[in-house]
Amino acid sequence: MSPADNGPSPEAVVDGAGNGAGPDRRLRLGGMALRNGLLIHGPSAWAAAARTADGRIEVSSGPKPAFARGRLGSAPLIRGPLRLAEAFAVVPIARRGLPAARLPIEDPRVLVVALATAVASRGIRRLGRATAASETVIAALGVLPAVMALRDRDLAAYHGVEHKAIGAYERGSFDPADAPKEHERCGSNLIVPLLILSAAGQLMVERLLRRPGPVARAVAGVASTSGAVELFAFAERRPDSSLGRAIHTIGHQIQRFVSTREPTPEQLEVGSAALHEVLRAEATSQSEVRRK
């Protein structure tokens, strides 16, 4: 179906807390590229748009799972994993709500690479005592499935659509063509901090425990993710600092050369549909909150 014509205008905005806002205050949006469309989520709602095989654009939306609320949602080192959990929890919900959508992982090549990297990582750990080099290799192997997924030109283009749609909205426009295909809040900014902290965390587990099990490794993984998200947040707050410039420069180059492509007008049309629908869903959600 197409975006609803009734209900609040898509241009109606609310702030991140769900309160009414003026035209100069906009939602903090996130998203994920699909193989044939775009998923966008805001503070309380998600929306997805996908191009079907016969050329139509189908759109769906719904409420977003809420994990990062209250004090936990603002607590350092805890807020990061909770917000990531919210973003990931939206994915299967959106997939059910929009059957036409195709996820990045719905590619046999990506599944094969993911399985191969898991086997390789396990084999490296069995070779002997962990070192900084071996843990860095294992951490780098974890990126390969995403690299394989982005070899799909449409997925990389829809990643560009995500940035252009959200970036244009943040600049006060509803035309994705107005914005660059690189965005300062892209998850690519997490890659290098996460690789470094993941390798360091797993190496620490190896040094502290004689035979670290999956629980200990999982705890170290969550801690590494928390640290990487905090560095990401610091870079956003202090973009002119040395660390902020380094994180954004690396992330920008990853987006420019690896993870995004310039989309077609037809793909941008899908991005506009997703953006308008998520803003409509957020406005509707806020209206329901006020009625209660």
Could you read off the pLDDT of 119-146 as tens digits, one per residue?
999 999 888 788 999 999 999 999 999 9
pTM: 0.87
Residues 88, 119: one domain? no
Rounded mean pLDDT of 252-257?
A: 96
Residues 126, 190: one domain? yes
Name the one residue in this structure whose structure tokens are 């195709």: 102
Q: Is residue 161 part of a domain?
A: no
Rounded mean pLDDT of 67-73?
A: 75
Residues 213, 122: one domain? yes
In the sheet where 45-51 sits, what is the strand order? 30-33, 37-41, 45-51, 57-63
Give the contacts of 291 (CB within 8 A, at least 6 positions apart).
none
Phi-psi region of 218 (alpha: psi -120 to 50; beta: other; left: phi over 0): alpha
Residue 226 · residue 77 · CB < 8 Å: yes
Confidence of residue 292 (pLDDT cuts 50, 70, 90): low
Confidence of residue 76 (pLDDT cuts 50, 70, 90): confident
pLDDT for the residue numbered 83: 86
Residues 130, 249: one domain? yes
Residue 129: CB atoms within 10 A of its CB come to: 8
Residues 146, 76: one domain? no
- The residue range of the domain holding 27 is 1-103+270-292
Residues 42, 110: one domain? no
Residues 194, 113: one domain? yes
Residues 251, 280: one domain? no
Length of the chain: 292
Residues 147, 244: one domain? yes
Number of domains composing the chain: 2
Helix (H, G, I), strand (E, B) or coil at 92: helix
